[in-house]
Structures are given as structure tokens and as C-alpha cells.
Amino acid sequence: MRIDVYPTPDSLVGDLYGKTVIVIDLLRATTSITAAVENGCRMVVPVVSVEEALICAEKFDKDEVLLCGERGGVLIEGFDLANSPLEYSVDRVLDKVVITTTTNGTIAINAAKGAKNVIIACLRNAAFAAKAASELESDIVIICAGTQKKYSMDDILCAGAIVHHLKNLGEYGLCDLSITAQKLYEEAQGNIDKALLGTLHYEKMRALGFYDDLKFCFEQDVCDTVPVFVDGAIVKMR
Ligand code: MLT
């Protein structure tokens, strides 16, 4: 079996048929989605545009839906929640349909359509997501969201965490980016914050004052919720 890591959805090569895809947007979409699922939302529907989110919301009663996501890192006008994982608390999301659109993350999730299994991962659930993926016994493709179609180091560090855990669970052939990501993660794992100093999206989060979000996003293996994307919606696998 193999693990292939792609730095952006656009860089994907080959088809996903029969494979297990793990989607990562560490800062912050897949961390927020994992929090929403952990805290009991009915489902998360990831869409790529604001228009699509509004159309999707019409399919549900107003009081069962939350319109969520960000543009430029902040709340979309008229929406209920932005993209801070700390907003997705039990009192906000329990039993709700969370419709979300983010700049990069929800594009990456939709790019995984066609795979046999699609797992949503972040550092908080990395060990549990890796275990779930290994039990599915197929080739693994890790799709990183990146930032505006470019490689983003935060995602690669998280991909490295997943590769690190998978390598402890089975025999996998690794592509060069899987090896790079694993090494990078193993060097940085005690101090993710420091490793990301100067990188584009991390610095943007700091400039917006999202220090608590960063702290939350960098906590490792503290959440055993593994969200899966099935038929257009993200629900809890375990
Ligand atoms: C994205 O999808 O680009 C991100 O999650 C942006 C953000 O951090 O809000």
C-alpha cells in the first residue's frame, strides 16, 4: 500500500477510485469541521461558494441550519458562524446542519469526491484519523488544501503527523512529499508554533488576532472523532 501527499487539490495526479483520501486544512477548515462533528452537529455540508451555501440552506428549515465559513478569514456577511473552531461549541451546533464554505478547505474536500473513503483530519484527531484510514486497507491519498492554490506548510506538517502515525500502523510505500512531511513533522512536533513562524497563513491568523484558534489547532491527538465525507455530507465515522 502507498501514501501519496498532494500539497493542493490542483496538484492531484491520477484518479481516486478505490482509494482512501484524507483531507487536511489545518488552519482552520478541517479543524473547525472536526470540532462541529465532535460537538454533535447533525452533518456538515461543505460547499465551494457563498451562492451554493445559500441555495443549500433553502433545503432545510431555518432553525435547523447554520450558515458558516469565511472569506479573507472572517465572517461572511449574513452568515451565522465564521471559521474559528472555537465557535463550533455544543450549544451552537448540536443537531444542526452546518453548511460551510471556506476559501481553500471546502474546495479540497470537494476535490476528494470519487474516492472510496474520505476522512477529514487535523492535528487534533491525527492519530485517530490515521488509525481509521489504516483499517480501511487501501492506498491513501492525503490532499492538503494549501492557500490560494499554493503549498502551505501548516498542512504539510499535519500531513506529516498522519504519515508518522500510519507508518507505526503498517507497511506503506511513500512518495517524496510523504517522506518530506514526515521528517518535517518529526522535527517540529513539540513546537508546531515555532516551526510555522513566518509562513503565510500562520502569520495571517496572527495578524487577525486568532491566537486562541492557533493554540486549539495545534493540540495533537486530543480528539477521537473521525469525520467522513459521504454523499455530499460530513458525519461522524467514530
Ligand atoms: C480556508 O479554507 O482557506 C481556511 O480554513 C481559511 C481560514 O483559516 O479561515
Mutate to test the pocket of ligand 1, among 23, 25, 204 (most ligand atoms within 8 A of CB): 25
Is the pTM higher than 0.75? The answer reads yes
Distance 170 CA to ligand 1 centre (A): 32
Ligand 1 pocket check for 70: Cβ under 6 Å = yes
- pLDDT tens, 170-206? 999 999 999 999 999 999 999 999 999 999 999 999 9
Beta bridge partners of 83: none
**Interatomic CA distance for residues 220 and 192, integer angstroms:** 10
Ligand 1 pocket check for 155: Cβ under 6 Å = no
Please state, rounded to an integer, the average pLDDT across all residues of the chain: 97
Ligand 1 pocket check for 5: Cβ under 6 Å = no
Distance 165 CA to ligand 1 centre (A): 25
Cell, residue 45: 455540508
Ligand 1 atom nearest residue 83's Cα: 9
Q: Which of 38, 89, 84, 50 is nearest to 238 (CA)?
A: 38
Task: Point out the residues of the chain with pLDDT beneath 70.
Answer: 238
User: What angle in degrees, to the nearest 10, is found between the helix axes of 153-167 and 126-135?
Assistant: 50
Q: What pLDDT does 44 receive?
A: 98
Q: What pLDDT does 238 receive?
A: 65
**Interatomic CA distance for residues 70 and 42, integer angstroms:** 21
Distance 104 CA to ligand 1 centre (A): 6
CA 212 to chain centroid, in Å, comes to 18
